[in-house]
Homo-oligomer: A and B are copies of this chain.
């Protein structure tokens, strides 16, 4: 399976991918190192050649996930289109991403719970800059809003904290879809979400 010529980084990535698959399927908390090893087709001990502790795998998985989202967002943000159009695309892309891999989105909750994000208890280990990732999400949205303002596509008095509202709206919507996949699907939510966001930002009369 794994060629002997594989570099240390590649092997690590391979194990990480396996771990993400299992976490998504079983949940981090219920996933044993043994499970990750089996999925990655290696022995238990091998895992520890690439990760110091079980929790580090979760951290790495989250970072890989978040990086993917950020990369996609940055690409869209750089497109040659009106800012408002790019904002719309970003919202659609995030919802579409969750559509294709809902289990992966779940990983975020596991991460929150395991890492006690927002809790008063502290956890050992090198912390993942969770907040920093959201700061960048918001900055990206904020920068688009500024451009849209300059382009006259958005009201001039948009409150400062609006990026957080938009990011929250998208993430919260994903939660809803995760909780009640029967009633709600991400793709179907794009239109009403944008209706709320954009019409609220429109300079003149909506639509």
Binding site for B on A (CB under 8 A): 24-30, 102-103, 105-106, 109-110, 112-114, 116-121, 130-131, 134-135, 155, 158-162, 164-176, 178-184, 188-189, 191-193, 195-202, 204-206
Contact = CB atoms under 8 A, between A and B. Distances in A.
B166 A135 contact: no
Contacts of A178: 117-118
Nearest to A157: B207
Given A121-B26, A206-B200, A193 B165 contact: yes
A-side interface mostly: helix
B192 A196 contact: no
Given A109-B112, A191-B159, A175 B182 contact: no
Contacts of A24: 119-120
**Number of copies of this kind of chain in the complex:** 4
Contacts of A173: 164-165, 168-169, 172
A171 B175 contact: yes
A179 B134 contact: yes
Contact of A200 (B29, B168, B196): B196
Given A169-B196, A202-B206, 16 more contacts: A28-B113, A30-B116, A30-B121, A109-B109, A110-B113, A131-B180, A131-B183, A134-B180, A159-B192, A161-B189, A164-B173, A165-B196, A168-B170, A168-B174, A169-B173, A200-B200
A199 B196 CA distance: 8
Contacts of A176: 134, 164, 167-168, 171
A114 B27 CA distance: 8
